[in-house]
Amino acid sequence: MNLFDNRRYVFIVFTVLIGLVFIVRLFFVQVVESSYKVSALNNSQSHVVVYPARGLIYDRNDELIVSNQAAYDIMVVPNNVRAFDTTWFCNILDITKQNLEERLQRAKNYSWRVRSVFMKQVSFDVAAILQEKMYRFPGFSLQSRTLRKYARPVASHLLGYIGEVDKRILEENAYYAMGDYIGVIGIEKSYENILRGEKGLQIFLKDVHNRIIGSYEEGKYDKPVKVGRNMTISLDADLQEYGEKLMQEFVGSIVAIEPASGEILTMVSSPTVDPNMLIGRNLGETIRKLSADTLNPLFNRALMAQYPPGSTFKTINALIGLQEGVLHTTTSYYCDYGYYYRGVHVRCHTHRAPLNLVESIQHSCNTYYCNVFRRIMEDPDYENTEEAFNHWRDHVASFGFGEKLGSDFTNELKGNIPTAAYYDRYYTSGHWNFLTIISMAIGQGELLITPLQMANMTATIANRGWFYTPHLAKEIEGEPNIDPKYKEKHYTTIDAAHYEPIVEGMDLAVNGGPGSTARIAKIQDITVCGKTGTAENPHGEDHSIFIAFAPKDNPQIALAVYVENEGFGGTWAAPIASLMIEHYLKGETNRTWLEQYVLNGNTKKKKNEEAAQGTEDTGNEEEG
Amino acid sequence: MTRRNNIYANVDWISILIWMLLIVFGWMNIYSANIMNGDGTILDFSQRYGKQMLWIGVSVVLIVIVFILDAKFFPFFAYPLYGLMVMMLIAVFLFGKEINGAKSWFVLGGFQFQPSEFAKPFTALALARLLSSHGFTLKSKRSLVLAGMIIFTPALLILVQPDMGSTLVYFAFLLVLYREGFSQNTMILGASLAVLFIITLLTDKSLIVLGIWLVALFLFRFNVGGKKVVTGIFIPGIAIFGLLFAANYFSGMKFPIYHVTLAAFAGASIASLVAALKSRQPAMLKILVGMFVTVLFVVSVDYAMNNLLKEHQQQRIYVTLGMEDDPQGVGYNVNQSKIAIGSGGFAGKGFLKGTQTKLQFVPEQSTDFIFCTVGEEWGFIGTSLVVILFVVLITRLVILAERQRSHFSRIYGYGLLAVLFVHFTVNVGMTIGLLPVIGIPLPFFSYGGSSLLAFTLFLFIFLKLDSNRLELLR
Ligand SMILES: [Zn+2]
C-alpha cells in the first residue's frame, strides 16, 4: 500500500488547482470585467418575455379553421411595486380599491419576485391607454397573449382548446410560467410543442424613473422568440359541420376516415360545444357548467365512449371463420327465428332461409353467426376452447381492438376484448365453452369498442385487410414528414381474399333489395357498402350503429355512426351515414326528404315521451 | 480503549467548523433569495428558508445519532444499508413522483424526499467495506468487477430516472479506486475516453477523426520514424481537408466531409498497416490499433447518439452539455448567472440588497444556482471565501483520511472527499460558465432537505470513524 500513499498529493494538488482556477475566474468576472456590471447609478434591468403567436391550423382543403386574436394580461411583480396613483389605476381598470388590494395579495401569495397575472384579458382599449402610462406603475407590466379564434363553430372535441397552465404543470415543466396558456385537450394538446413556438426574451435597461433607456448589452443576452408552427390537419371542416348538423337532434358520434391514408375526415361527438365558447376569461366557469350537464358536451364520445359492436362484429367473426377454414363462402345454415342449443336461445328476425355467407351479412342472421362462432371455438385443430379462443382473440386484436390505436389524441380509450384468463377466472378453467360466451358471436357481451376503433375496422374492410393508424396530422410546418408511425401499414391476420364475400354482403345489405337491412343508405350512382348494428344497453334503450364505406371499389370514405338510445341501426345511423357519404363524395345531396327526416330527428318521439313522462331521462351510462 | 469517552478531544473540530460556516452562510443566501419585503419570520415553514432551517435542525439530530452509534456499526451494516438504498431507488422509479421530467422523488405529506442523494454515502460505505475486506486486491478482475457493480448499480438506477447530473457524480468513486492503487494509465485512458465522448457530441465528427489521425501520424513521426509514410500522407491530407473545410464553411458548399474523412482515414490506415507489417515494427502496430479503437469509439458514439436514442433523449443530453437550449434556455441561465455574479463586484451589494430581480428567470435560484446569490450580495470576497472553505475542507479530509489506521475508514473518507470534490467543481464551474450546466447542488449550501441531510450524514459518519481511529484497526 505504501506504494500508492503519494497519490494523496494528487488529490490535494488538484483541489487547490481547481480552487485557484475558480478564484482567478471569479476575479475576472467580478472585479476586472465591467461588462457584467450594471452601472453604478443603480440602473436596473427589465426582462420582457415575448410570447410567440400560436401556430395556425388549416383543414385538408386549406381552409384556415383556427387562428389567433390578441388579448392583454396585466402582470405584477409585487416586490417592484412602489407607491402609485391607485385612483387612476382603479378607474381605468374599473375595479374598487378593495379589489385592487385583493389582487395584489393574491400575487404576493404566489410570489413576491416572480411575475404573476394581476388581471386577465383586459380590453384592447384599456391596454392601449395603459401602455402609454405604464412607467408610472412600477412593478406592473402588460403582457400580450394569444387567444384562439375559430372560423366555424365546429369540431371543438377534435381541436381541443387552450387554457391557463395549472399548478401541476408549473411544477413539472419549467417552460411554463403562471398565466401561460397550454393546449388542454385535442390537437391543441397533442401538438402543443409544435403549435406553441418558443417564448423569447428581451432585456432592457431602465433608469431610476423606471423608464426604458435601451437594450441591455445591445441585445447580447436576448433570446429570440420562435413563432408557433402552423399545421394542416386531415379534417374536412365542411363535412364536420354537416355531420354536426345531422347529429344535432341525437346523442352519439360519427367518425369518418379516408381508408387509403388513415386520415380522419370527421369526428363528431354529439352534443357538442361551439369552440368559441372555450375562449376567454370565463373559460373555467364555462367548463364547470358544461361538465355538470348530464350529457356532458365536453365528453368526446368518438374516443371515449365504449359500446358493444353489435351485428357489425359479424363481419369480423365471418373473416375469422374463413381464415381458420371452418367457414366457406358456400356454407349455409337454416334459421328458424333463432338459435337453440342446450336451453340457450338467441333470437333472430324474419328473413328467408337457409342463407349462405354473403346473404348472412346482407340479412344479419344471428343463427348463422352462432353456428360460425361454435365452429371457431370448437375447431378440431385446437386442443380445447381456450386455445381456439386465444386464436380468435389474436385475429380480433389485429384489427386494433382492445388496445389504444395510437392516434394523435391523448384521451383515446382502448375498449375491451376479454381474454381467456378472464373467463378462466370467472368460470374457472375448463368450465366454459362457446355457449358461455355465445353473445360475442353477434357482437354483444363483454366486447367494448370505441367509435374510432369501429371506423378503423370499416376502413380495414374497405382496404381488404390493412389500415393506417387513424390520425389527424397531415402537414407540420418545418417538418418534412409527420410521425412515421402513421405511415406504417398494419395488416390484419386475415388474408385479403377473404374480405371479398364480406364486402359483397355489405354491398347487398344496402343495395340488395327487399329484406336487406340497410336499404335506406342506398345512394344513386354510388355503391355504398354497409352493415347495421345494435349495441345492447342494459341501462336503457339500445344504441344504433351503422358502419359503411364507399365507393365499393376504390373506397374514399369509411365511417361509423353511433346514435345512442335509438334502437335499430337502420333507423337513424344508416341515413346519417348515407348523407355523410353523399356530401363528401358529391358535395351536396338531392335527397332533401332524407335530410329533413334526419334533421327533424326524433322530435316527434321526443314530444310524445315528454308528454308522457314530463322530462326525458337520457341514460348515457356507457361513458362510465 | 480508555479514550473511548474522550470524543470531544478526538473529533476533528476544523471540519465541523467549516461545516457550520457553510450551513449558516448557505442558509443566509437561501433566506435572501426567497425573502419577501420584510415580513415573515425565519421559521415560516411555507418558505424555503423556513424549511431549510427545519432541515438544519434535523441534521443536528442526525449528527447526534451518528455519534451515539458505535463506530463499528458502519462497517458492519454497510452492505444491508446499501441493499436497502438500492431497493429505494427501484421503488422511486416505480412509484415516485415526476418533477421537472425526472422521476426521482417520493412525496410524503408536504415534503419531498430524493433517495438518490442518500445513495452516495451508502455507496461509499459499501465500497469501503468491499475494498477493505480480506484478500481484496484491485489486481484481480473479479474484485474490480465487484467494485464496479457497487459503484454503478445506483448510478444506473439514477440514470433511468433520468437524472444525468447525479449519475455523473458516481464517477467520483473511481478516484477512490485510484487512491487504492488502481492503474494510473487506465485512469488516464478512461478520462481521455470520457473527454473524447463529450468532444464527439460537441464538435464536428470529421474534425475529431482528422485530429485522431494527425495525432497518430505525429506518434509515427516521433516514435517510429516512418518519415516517408508521414510526409506522404500528412501533407496532401492537410491540403485536401483544408480545401474542403474552407469550401464548406466559407462558400456554403455541402461536401460530405465526414464520410470523405472516414474513407480517407480507412485508405491511409491500410497504407500504414501495410507499411507497419513490412517494417515489422510492433510500436507502429500499437499506434495503429490505438488509432482504430479511438476512431471506432467516436463513430459508435455518434451512431448511438443519432440512431439509437430517441429524439427527446438526445435533446436531454445536448441540453446537459449546454449545446441546445432547453425550453427556458440553459445558455440563458448561465448568462443570467454570470451577470448576477458579476454585478456583485468586489465587495458585493450587501446582505438582502441583491436587486437583481432578473434572477427570477433562473429557476434553480436557491438550489443549483445559489452561488449566484453569494456572488451578487457578497461579491468577490464572498465567492472566494466559499471556494476557500471547500478547498480547505477537502484537503483537510485528505489529511484525515490518510491518518486512519483502518482501511475501511480511509476508503470511506476518500469516497466522501471525492464526491464533495466533484459536486463543488461541477456546481461552481457551471455557475461561473466554465463547465456545462449539470444540475447538481452545492453541498451543505444549496436549498434542499435531501441534499443537506445526505451530505451531513456522509460527512459525520466519517468524523465519527475518525474520532474512533485509534480503536478501528481494520
Ligand atoms: Zn336468422
CATH (domain of A132): 3.90.1310.10
Euclidean distance between CA atoms A226 and B327, whole angstroms: 11
Burial letters for B279-301: b for 16+ Cβ neighbours within 10 Å, e otherwise? eebeebbebbeebbebbebbbeb
Mean pLDDT lowest among A175-189, A593-607, B115-129, B286-300: A593-607
Euclidean distance between CA atoms B28 and B49, whole angstroms: 8
Residue B318 lies in a domain: no
Within this chain, do residues B27 and B95 fall inside the same structural domain, yes or no?
yes
Flag residues of chain A having pLDDT under 70. 1-3, 34-46, 113, 206-211, 217, 220, 569, 602-624
Is the per-residue pLDDT at B283 higher than 50? yes
Write the ipTM: 0.83
Residue A72 lies in a domain: yes
Residue B24 lies in a domain: yes
Secondary structure of chain A: what % helix, strand, coil (to 5)? 40, 20, 40
Which of B287, B309, B331 delimits the end of a domain?
B309
Structural domain harbouring B215? 203-309
Say whether A294 sits in a helix, a strand or coil: coil
The whole-number pLDDT of residue A515 equals 76
Residue A161 lies in a domain: yes
Q: Which helix (H) or strand (E) holds B333?
A: helix B330-343
Residue B405 lies in a domain: yes
The whole-number pLDDT of residue B230 equals 61
Euclidean distance between CA atoms B259 and B429, whole angstroms: 36
Residue A551 lies in a domain: yes
Could you say which of B328, B356, B432 has the minimum Cβ distance to residue A174?
B328
Within this chain, do residues A180 and A64 fall inside the same structural domain, yes or no?
yes
Which three cell numbers, joined as nine digits, stand for A266?
Answer: 370527421
Beta carbons of B410 and B375 less than 8 angstroms apart: no
Beta carbons of B420 and B124 less than 8 angstroms apart: no
The whole-number pLDDT of residue B387 equals 96
Question: Other C-beta atoms within 10 Å of A76: how many?
Answer: 22
Look up cell 470511506; give the residue.
B412
Beta carbons of A595 and A589 less than 8 angstroms apart: yes
Residue A301 lies in a domain: no
Higher pLDDT, B163 or A503: A503
How far does the CA of residue A163 sit from the closest CA of chain B (Å)? 19
**Most B-contacting residue of A25, A30, A105, A207 (CB-CB within 10 A), to test interface:** A30
Within this chain, do residues A527 and A426 fall inside the same structural domain, yes or no?
yes
Which of B288, B309, B330 delimits the end of a domain?
B309
Q: Does A28 touch chain B (CB under 8 A)?
A: no
Inter-chain touch B178–A7, beta carbons under 8 Å: yes
pTM, two decimals, is 0.65
Within this chain, do residues B19 and B117 fall inside the same structural domain, yes or no?
yes
CATH (domain of A457): 3.40.710.10
- Rounded mean pLDDT of B168-172? 89
The whole-number pLDDT of residue B328 equals 43
Number of domains observed in the structure of chain B: 2
The whole-number pLDDT of residue A16 equals 94
The whole-number pLDDT of residue A40 equals 37
Q: Which residues touch A481 (CB under 8 Å, ≥6 apart)?
A: A487
Which of B262, B288, B309 delimits the end of a domain?
B309
Is the per-residue pLDDT at B400 higher than 90? yes
**In whole numbers, what is the pLDDT of chain B averaged over residues?**
79
Within this chain, do residues B175 and B210 fall inside the same structural domain, yes or no?
no
Residue B382 lies in a domain: no
B328 contact residues in A (CB cutoff 8 A): 174-175
Look up cell 442558509; give the residue.
B27
Structural domain harbouring A25? 3-33
Compute, in angstroms, the gap from residue B402 CA to the centroid of ligand 1.
Answer: 92
- Rounded mean pLDDT of B293-298? 80
* Residue B352: band (very low, low, confident or very high) from pLDDT cuts 50, 70, 90: confident
Compute, in angstroms, the gap from residue A337 CA to the centroid of ligand 1.
Answer: 6
Look up cell 387509403; give the residue.
A260
* Residue B358: band (very low, low, confident or very high) from pLDDT cuts 50, 70, 90: very low
Within this chain, do residues B175 and B299 fall inside the same structural domain, yes or no?
no
Within this chain, do residues A350 and A478 fall inside the same structural domain, yes or no?
yes
* Residue B309: band (very low, low, confident or very high) from pLDDT cuts 50, 70, 90: low
Could you say which of B335, B360, B394 has the minimum Cβ distance to residue A114?
B360
The whole-number pLDDT of residue A619 equals 36
Residue A83 lies in a domain: yes
Number of domains observed in the structure of chain A: 3
Residue B377 lies in a domain: no
Within this chain, do residues B118 and B23 fall inside the same structural domain, yes or no?
yes
Within this chain, do residues B137 and B285 fall inside the same structural domain, yes or no?
no
Residue B329 lies in a domain: no
Inter-chain touch B339–A221, beta carbons under 8 Å: yes
Within this chain, do residues A210 and A245 fall inside the same structural domain, yes or no?
no
Q: Does A2 touch chain B (CB under 8 A)?
A: no
Could you say which of B37, B345, B421 has the minimum Cβ distance to residue A112?
B37
The whole-number pLDDT of residue A557 equals 96
B178 contact residues in A (CB cutoff 8 A): 7, 10
Within this chain, do residues A194 and A256 fall inside the same structural domain, yes or no?
no
Compute, in angstroms, the gap from residue A516 CA to the centroid of ligand 1.
Answer: 12
* Residue B417: band (very low, low, confident or very high) from pLDDT cuts 50, 70, 90: very high
